[in-house]
């Protein structure tokens, strides 16, 4: 009934988690506010007698209280999930994951230990862990992953990619399972691995450019150390930097394996011109007076969210294998705010690029403004006004959105669907020109576009190197 006593934990992307309740039928409704962190987020409601406690969590492991209330519920009592837009003319959709209801005595039985922990796909800075699923009387909620006895993080999958490792180094891993009541299993058997030699990519300092600075690193390892000890620049992984590696580096230098189309470093620090250091696709700052500030690397532009943006009037890219990447510290003035975007004519048909989503995640548009792209559930959450690397990788059969931040590390999500070739004859940085509200407000830096799909290791190295 509409005026029934109730207690519920709700969450929205904009307002965060709340505990809403009516203590008695026909009485006043009240709301207690949580941390303000918006969806996607974990929420939980626990009842003891007529006392209800709401909780929220960023990872489903560490919980904090939203508030506590008393509600006089009379049988029958109904438990369920609800979605509302609070506007009868607007349809609201939501995705629930890992929903769980428990009655009676608390669950105290722990899951079985994960078996067959295996390490594969070993590189100089990453490894892939896989294991068999655990079992539980109610259900397994996820897995804790430990490296050298220290927790790395959690996952709901039976696999985990550990990145940011040192080359030629030994690591030991174990995995614990946990259920929805947070009972933890005994750890799996330990699995040890030694990473390979230094990565083979010739951009040894990962600044997006292969230049003399990278050659100097190869030469110094060859001349100063004799090239031994698993050094950087060992392109053939023989444990030695020698003339063969120098020769291979020179060839890679000439051919540019990054296949960089454009690179705007925003290091001008004055004026309204924004130079492309690779392809010559120079841009112009539009809006008020440009604010040049300290950036993620060197200098950057601080956009005011009112009319500031960078216009790239001439650009040449055609295909469905491309990578967009940028460093940002800011937020959106409205939903679908453009980060690196192209909007053609007709404007409701020709559109592609990287932008904010309505749920504060990294979104994208492709396939001539296809709803299946911009209305996708979205990539990882973009941190609010904190530095983050955002990247979009388009491939013929999928698109992958990456967000790297200090608080959450490097995360990604994939939209598996066909992607057609698109032509981008121009670009706008910091705005989707479809509406005046779709603007980025804050600092933007180190914008790069690559004429191929970068893989996880390359994205993670660019994230680690800046």
Question: What does the pLDDT read at residue 78?
Answer: 84
Residue 383, in any domain of the structure:
yes
Containing structural domain, residue 217? 212-255
Q: How many domains does the chain have?
A: 4
Question: What does the pLDDT read at residue 141?
Answer: 86
Residue 104, in any domain of the structure:
no
Residue 208: pLDDT above 90? no
Q: What percentage of the chain reaches a pLDDT higher than 70?
A: 85
Residue 110, in any domain of the structure:
no
Distance CA 55, CA 18 (A): 9
Say whether both 385 and 305 belong to one domain: yes
Better-predicted residue by pLDDT, 196 or 148: 148
Distance CA 50, CA 275 (A): 65
DSSP codes joined into one string, 224-254:
HSTT-SS-TT-TT-SS---HHHHHHHHHHHH
Question: What does the pLDDT read at residue 353?
Answer: 96
Better-predicted residue by pLDDT, 42 or 396: 396
CB crowding 364-394: b at 16 or more within 10 Å, else e: bbbbebbeebbebebbbbbbeeebbbbbbbb
Say whether both 291 and 423 belong to one domain: yes
| Residues 192-201: tens digit of each pLDDT | 987 765 445 5
CB crowding 203-230: b at 16 or more within 10 Å, else e: bbebbbbbeeebbebbeebbeeeebeeb
Residue 199, in any domain of the structure:
no
Residue 357: pLDDT above 80? yes
Say whether both 229 and 123 belong to one domain: no
Residue 312, in any domain of the structure:
yes
Say whether both 414 and 346 belong to one domain: yes
| Residues 218-243: tens digit of each pLDDT | 676 666 554 444 456 666 655 567 76
Say whether both 89 and 224 belong to one domain: no
Helix 212-224 / helix 243-255 crossing angle, nearest 10 deg: 180
| Residues 314-345: tens digit of each pLDDT | 999 999 999 999 999 999 999 999 999 999 98
Better-predicted residue by pLDDT, 287 or 226: 287
Q: What percentage of the chain reaches a pLDDT higher than 90?
A: 45
Say whether both 285 and 412 belong to one domain: yes
Tell me which of 47, 69, 99 is where a domain ends.
99
Say whether both 250 and 264 belong to one domain: no
Residue 425, in any domain of the structure:
yes
Say whether both 364 and 246 belong to one domain: no
Say whether both 179 and 216 belong to one domain: no
Question: What does the pLDDT read at residue 438?
Answer: 96
Question: Residue 136 sits in a domain of what CATH number?
Answer: 2.60.40.10
Question: What does the pLDDT read at residue 172?
Answer: 94
Residue 203, in any domain of the structure:
no
Residue 271, in any domain of the structure:
yes
Q: Whole-number mean pLDDT of the chain?
A: 85
Say whether both 250 and 268 belong to one domain: no
Say whether both 70 and 144 belong to one domain: no
Question: Residue 312 sits in a domain of what CATH number?
Answer: 2.60.120.200
Say whether both 277 and 328 belong to one domain: yes
């Amino acid at each position: 009934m509409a005026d029934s006593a109730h207690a519920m934990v709700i969450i929205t992307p904009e307002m965060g988690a709340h505990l809403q309740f009516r203590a008695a039928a026909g009485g006043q409704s009240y709301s207690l506010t949580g941390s303000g962190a918006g969806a996607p987020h974990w929420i939980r409601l626990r009842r003891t007698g007529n006392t209800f406690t709401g909780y929220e969590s960023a990872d489903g492991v560490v919980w904090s209280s939203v508030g506590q209330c008393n509600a006089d519920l009379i049988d029958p009592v109904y438990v369920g999930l609800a979605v509302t837009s609070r506007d009868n003319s607007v349809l609201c959709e939501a995705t629930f994951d890992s929903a769980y209801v428990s009655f009676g005595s608390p669950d105290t039985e722990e899951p079985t230990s994960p078996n067959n922990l295996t390490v594969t796909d070993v590189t100089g800075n990453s490894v892939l862990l896989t294991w068999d699923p655990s079992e539980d009387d109610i259900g397994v909620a996820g897995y804790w992953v430990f490296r050298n006895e220290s927790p790395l993080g959690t996952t709901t999958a039976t696999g985990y990619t550990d990145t940011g490792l040192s080359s030629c180094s030994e690591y030991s891993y174990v995995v614990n399972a946990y259920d929805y009541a947070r009972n933890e299993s005994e750890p799996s058997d330990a699995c040890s691995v030694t990473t390979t030699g230094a990565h083979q990519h010739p951009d040894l300092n990962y600044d997006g450019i292969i230049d003399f600075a990278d050659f100097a690193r190869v030469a110094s390892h060859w001349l100063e150390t004799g090239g031994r000890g698993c050094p950087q620049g060992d392109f053939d992984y023989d444990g030695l930097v020698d003339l063969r590696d120098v020769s291979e580096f020179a060839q890679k230098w000439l051919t540019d394996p990054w296949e960089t189309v454009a690179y705007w470093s925003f290091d001008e620090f004055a004026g309204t011109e924004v130079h492309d250091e690779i392809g010559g696709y120079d841009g112009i700052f539009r809006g008020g007076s440009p604010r040049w500030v300290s950036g993620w690397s060197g200098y950057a532009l601080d956009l005011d969210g009112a009319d500031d943006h960078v216009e790239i009037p001439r650009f040449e890219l055609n295909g469905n294998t491309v990578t967009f990447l940028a460093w940002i510290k800011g937020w959106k003035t409205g939903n679908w705010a453009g980060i690196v975007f192209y909007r053609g004519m007709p404007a409701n048909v020709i559109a592609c690029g990287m932008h904010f989503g309505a749920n504060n995640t990294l979104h994208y548009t492709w396939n001539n403004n296809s709803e299946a792209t911009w209305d996708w559930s979205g990539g990882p959450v973009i941190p609010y006004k904190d530095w983050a690397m955002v990247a979009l990788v388009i491939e013929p059969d999928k698109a992958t959105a990456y967000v790297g931040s200090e608080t959450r590390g490097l995360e990604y999500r994939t939209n598996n669907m066909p992607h057609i070739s698109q032509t981008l004859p121009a670009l706008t940085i910091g705005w989707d020109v479809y509406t005046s509200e779709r603007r980025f407000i804050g600092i933007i830096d180190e914008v790069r576009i690559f004429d191929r799909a970068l893989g996880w290791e390359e994205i993670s190295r660019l994230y680690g190197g800046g």
